[in-house]
């Protein structure tokens, strides 16, 4: 019996030793990536640049369950500086949600978006329709690429893969990819597909879009008051595989109010859409279907976003693309192009959200590759990682990458990561961090 007791103690000691080694190994990885680093909200001097030198400081608590810190990451093109908001979703006083200007086709700086709704911190979000140089005379909408949900309500669906802006996605990933938080307060990655149709007396037609700057060829898309006042012409430009393809010459638009057609036009229009109305925009085969409708005809329109994997409704979600799943970087991540980037990591089974944005000041503008972003998120403890909008290259004059945080006792957030070019670039959406004290 005594011998069995000694063996049991030895087994426990062995397990504890192994556990300690695993913990030290994990801490060593974190230290290598610089994730033990942090900073007071007043910032700190840049790292000296000496080999192996990484500036470190304690994290700063900006609200219950929310900490801010920065750290330096030795990277393939030089040292990058990362700024992080660490959000504990287990704290009932803490929440995250979609930052956006109130309309899909609109943009505003992250700091203005955060201050406008009382957020204590935030980062920029999805890639977006930033320019229309390939379609002279067509207005860029500023609308994001992927799906978006705010306060449990679907704002928009994803554009076709070939119409997206941003760097190449990993193999097998689509524009329907989202990061969000469910009504269960857990962060997760998923895909959101559009389930919608319009029904007339004679036919049912599947919707190809919801408040999107690009519609699939031959489809009909629905635009609501959430879209805004920007022209809807861009929705009929390009193809499913080519963003720069010419605009369609076969288009039609129908306005439905209280379930009846009240107006139609051959060219998509602009201006605010009334809350009791839906504007249907068709191209090619979709346009031909809309031409069959006349004033007074009854039309029913329904639409919703459906999660591919989760059975839990999203409280908020926005687009981008995954770079880390179950602790492993996705195959095919770009390991060559370095840039100033923004990303998000999910840890502790969805109970912890890490919002990361790189510094765009000249000494750190080389940034990270997407592969290095995935490794950095993993070093922070993330099981899943998601790339958001950022600079297209290390020479970009102005980057969308922005992280804001409110100092304890302050009335407004301030920018913490020195955006490239020295000023914030207006963006269509972002992730906001909220605190109820």
- Mean pLDDT confidence for 103-132: 97
Other Cβ atoms less than 10 A from the Cβ of 27: the count is 12
Q: Is a pLDDT exceeding 90 seen at residue 61?
A: yes
pLDDT class of 13 with cuts at 50, 70, 90: very low
- Positive or negative, the CA dihedral 318, 177, 195, 220 is positive
Q: In what helix (H) or strand (E) does residue 148 lie, and over which residues does it extend?
A: strand 148-150
Q: Is the pLDDT of residue 23 over 60?
A: no
Condensed to tens digits (0 to 9), the pLDDT of residues 45-58 reads 333 222 233 344 46
Residue 115 has pLDDT above 50, yes or no: yes
State the pLDDT at residue 5: 40
Q: Is the pLDDT of residue 22 over 80?
A: no
pLDDT digit string (tens) for 169-219? Answer: 999 999 999 999 999 999 999 999 999 999 999 999 999 999 999 999 999
* Spatial contact of 424 and 121, defined as CB atoms under 8 Å apart: no
Identify the pLDDT of residue 4: 40
Q: Which pLDDT does position 21 carry in this prediction?
A: 37
| 76-82-86-87 Cα dihedral, nearest 10 degrees | -100
- Angle subtended at Cα 33 by Cα 181 and Cα 331, rounded to the nearest 5 degrees: 60
Token readout for 283 is 């191209």
H/E stretch holding 29 reads: helix 2-33
What pLDDT shows up at residue 311? 87
Provide mean pLDDT across the span 60-73: 96
pLDDT of residue 391: 64
Give the sheet arrangement for strand 94-99, strand by strand.
94-99, 430-435, 121-124, 403-406, 413-415
- Per the model's pLDDT, the better-predicted residue between 40 and 289 turns out to be 289
* The pLDDT of residue 103 is above 80: yes
What are the start-end ranges of the E strands in 183-219?
187-199, 204-206, 209-210
For residue 181, which of 276, 318, 70 has the smallest C-alpha distance? 318
pLDDT band at residue 340 using 50, 70 and 90 as cut-offs: very high
Is residue 15 pLDDT above 90, yes or no?
Answer: no
Checking if the pLDDT of 20 tops 70, the result is no
HSE toward the beta carbon, residue 216, CA cutoff 13 A = 15
pLDDT band with cut points at 50, 70 and 90 for residue 142: very high
Task: Please give the pLDDT value at position 201.
Answer: 92
Is the predicted pLDDT of residue 7 greater than 60, yes or no? no
40-44, 80-84, 204-208, 374-378: segment of lowest average pLDDT: 40-44
* Measured distance CA(136)–CA(108) in Å, rounded: 24
Question: Tens digit of pLDDT for each residue in 249-276?
Answer: 999 999 999 999 999 999 999 999 999 9
Average pLDDT, the chain: 87
- State pLDDT tens for residues 367-420: 999 999 999 999 999 999 999 998 643 344 457 899 999 998 899 999 999 887
């Amino acid at each position: 019996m005594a011998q069995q007791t000694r063996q049991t103690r030895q087994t426990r000691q062995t397990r504890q030793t192994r556990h300690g080694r695993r913990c030290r190994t994990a801490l060593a990885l974190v230290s290598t990536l610089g994730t033990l680093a942090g900073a007071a909200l007043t910032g700190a001097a840049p790292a000296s640049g000496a080999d192996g030198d990484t500036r470190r400081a304690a994290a700063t608590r900006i609200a219950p369950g929310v900490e801010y810190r920065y750290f330096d990451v030795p990277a393939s093109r030089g040292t990058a500086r990362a700024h992080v908001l660490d959000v504990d979703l287990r704290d009932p006083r803490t929440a995250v949600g979609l930052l956006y200007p109130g309309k899909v086709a609109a943009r505003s700086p992250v700091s203005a978006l955060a201050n406008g709704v009382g957020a204590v911190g935030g980062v920029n979000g999805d890639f977006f329709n930033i320019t229309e140089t390939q379609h002279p005379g067509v207005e860029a909408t500023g609308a994001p690429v992927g799906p978006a949900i705010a306060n449990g309500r679907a704002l928009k669906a994803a554009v076709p893969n070939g119409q997206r802006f941003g760097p190449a996605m990993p193999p097998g990933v689509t524009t329907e990819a989202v990061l969000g938080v469910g009504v269960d307060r857990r962060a997760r990655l998923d895909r959101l597909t559009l389930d919608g149709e319009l029904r007339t007396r004679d036919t049912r037609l599947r919707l190809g879009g919801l408040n999107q700057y690009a519609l699939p060829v031959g489809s009909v898309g629905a635009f609501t008051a959430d879209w805004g006042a920007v022209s809807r012409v861009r929705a009929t430009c390009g193809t499913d595989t080519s963003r720069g393809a010419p605009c369609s010459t076969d288009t039609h638009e129908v306005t439905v109010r209280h379930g009846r057609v009240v107006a139609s036009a051959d060219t998509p229009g602009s201006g605010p859409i009334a809350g009791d109305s839906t504007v249907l925009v068709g191209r090619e085969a979709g346009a031909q279907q809309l031409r069959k409708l006349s004033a007074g005809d009854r039309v029913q329109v329904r639409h919703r976003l459906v999660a591919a994997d989760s059975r839990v409704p999203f409280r908020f979600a926005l687009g981008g693309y995954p770079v880390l799943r179950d602790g492993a970087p996705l195959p095919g991540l770009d390991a060559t192009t370095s840039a100033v980037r923004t990303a998000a990591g999910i840890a502790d089974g969805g109970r912890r959200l890490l919002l990361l944005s790189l510094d765009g000041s000249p000494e750190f503008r080389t940034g990270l590759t997407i592969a290095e972003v995935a490794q950095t998120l993993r070093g922070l403890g993330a099981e899943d990682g998601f790339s958001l909008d950022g600079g297209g290259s290390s020479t970009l004059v102005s980057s969308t990458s922005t992280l804001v945080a409110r100092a304890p006792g302050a009335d407004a957030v301030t920018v913490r990561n020195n955006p490239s070019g020295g000023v914030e670039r207006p963006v269509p959406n972002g992730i906001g961090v909220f605190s109820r004290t």
